[in-house]
């Protein structure tokens, strides 16, 4: 009899990460593909399906060996999204039970392994998710609050401030880097490019601005006033979301962690820690995630299948590089 496996998917706005595990917690394969969100990539369905196939091939498994699939998908916000979300895993022969949630849920599951806490997701997209002591999930978007801390927003704001002339000598290096990034020689050319809207297609434009974000976060760390203003405002918006969610926790002590390229850059992490430590409302502790989001999806697949996850299984999972953060 062939070994049964589960699939866990961390479907982000830039990459799809697929993990395959046996029912004992041994991670058999891990594959990375293109974006999972149809809002970020019109080829999202092909990306996810191909990454699933690749991961199973790496694990030496057939489709009929999959006992369950749990997927966290960026951009899955409501039942109206289910049509395109379900299509992501529509592979002939993959007939196992499948469960779908927002990608912040699998990130939380990996980070806290079922315990209360708040996860700040800030990378290609932005989301803040808290799960209270009563296991009630609360998102900042439930309040129609959005922390504009996704990569593209940092870049848009930096470029807007540059175009508005809100610079000083500390920004000289960043200004040059932004001009090089957009393949222009001076500010006049950048202004002309901006006047055309930079890039006509919105997905391509957002993707391009997202790719510029490391320039902004690195410049903030190096002392650029413009970059620090942009990053500090993003952290301020994150803190508002954290404090809103924190008010629904009974405990005065709340664990917080960060997932994503933006929040895990040195400057943003440092500033968020400072803000968390100075909160007048709760005692927040910034912690390292215990497991990756893909591993969190595996844990949730086990739970939905009725499998008891013990410490030995967790240790087996941690042996795989990509199950750890």
Interval 125-153 mean pLDDT: 97
Question: pLDDT tens digits for 156-179?
Answer: 999 999 999 999 999 999 999 999
Q: How confident is the model at residue 325 (pLDDT cuts 50, 70, 90)?
A: confident
154: nearest Cα among 10, 263, 1: 263
User: Are 5-112+291-323 and 114-289 equal in CATH topology?
Assistant: yes
pLDDT at 28 over 70: yes
- Which letter does DSSP use for residue 308 in this model? P
Fold of 114-289: Nucleotidyltransferase; domain 5 (3.30.420)
Largest distance between two CA atoms of the chain: 69
Architecture of the domain whose range is 5-112+291-323: 2-Layer Sandwich (3.30)
Domain boundaries, the chain: 5-112+291-323, 114-289
Question: pLDDT tens digits for 187-198?
Answer: 999 999 999 999
- Supply the pTM of this predicted model: 0.92
DSSP run (H or E) holding 255: strand 253-259
Instruction: Please tell me the total number of residues recorded for the chain in this structure.
Output: 325
The string over 192-218, giving b where at least 16 C-beta atoms fall within 10 Å of a residue's C-beta and e elsewhere, is ebeeeeeeeeeeeebbbbbebbbbbbb
Interval 263-289 mean pLDDT: 97
Q: How confident is the model at residue 1 (pLDDT cuts 50, 70, 90)?
A: low
> Taking phi first (over 0 means left), then psi (-120 to 50 degrees means alpha), and beta for anything else, what does residue 306 get?
left
User: Phi/psi of residue 231, each to 5°?
Assistant: -70, -40
Q: How confident is the model at residue 113 (pLDDT cuts 50, 70, 90)?
A: very high
- Which letter does DSSP use for residue 142 in this model? G
């Amino acid at each position: 009899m062939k070994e049964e496996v589960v699939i866990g998917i961390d479907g982000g706005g830039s990459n799809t990460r697929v993990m395959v595990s046996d029912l004992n917690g041994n991670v058999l394969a891990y594959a990375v593909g293109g974006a999972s969100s149809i809002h970020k990539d019109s080829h999202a369905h092909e990306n996810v399906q191909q990454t699933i196939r690749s991961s199973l091939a790496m694990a030496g498994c057939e489709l009929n060996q999959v006992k369950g699939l749990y997927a966290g998908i960026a951009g899955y916000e409501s039942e109206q999204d289910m049509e395109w979300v379900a299509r992501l895993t529509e592979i002939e022969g993959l007939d196992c039970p499948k469960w779908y949630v927002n990608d912040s849920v699998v990130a939380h599951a990996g980070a806290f392994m079922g315990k209360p806490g708040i996860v700040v997701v800030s990378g290609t997209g932005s989301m803040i998710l808290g799960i209270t002591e009563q296991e009630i999930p609360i998102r900042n978007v439930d309040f129609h609050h959005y922390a504009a801390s996704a990569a593209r927003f940092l870049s848009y704001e930096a470029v807007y401030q540059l175009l508005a002339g809100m610079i000083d000598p500390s920004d000289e290096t960043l200004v040059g880097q932004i001009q090089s990034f957009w393949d222009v020689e001076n500010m006049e050319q950048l202004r002309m490019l901006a006047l055309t809207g930079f890039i006509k297609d919105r997905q391509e434009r957002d993707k391009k601005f997202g790719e510029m974000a490391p320039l902004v976060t690195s410049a903030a760390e190096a002392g650029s006033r413009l970059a620090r203003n942009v990053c500090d405002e993003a952290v301020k918006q994150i803190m508002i979301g954290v404090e809103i969610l924190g008010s629904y926790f009974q405990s005065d002590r709340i664990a917080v962690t960060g997932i994503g390229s933006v929040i895990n850059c040195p400057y943003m992490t440092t500033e968020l820690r400072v803000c968390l430590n100075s909160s007048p409302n709760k005692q927040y502790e910034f912690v390292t995630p215990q497991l990756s989001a893909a591993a969190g999806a595996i844990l949730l697949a086990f739970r939905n299948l009725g499998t008891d996850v013990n410490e030995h299984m967790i240790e087996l999972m941690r042996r795989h590089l990509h199950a750890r953060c």
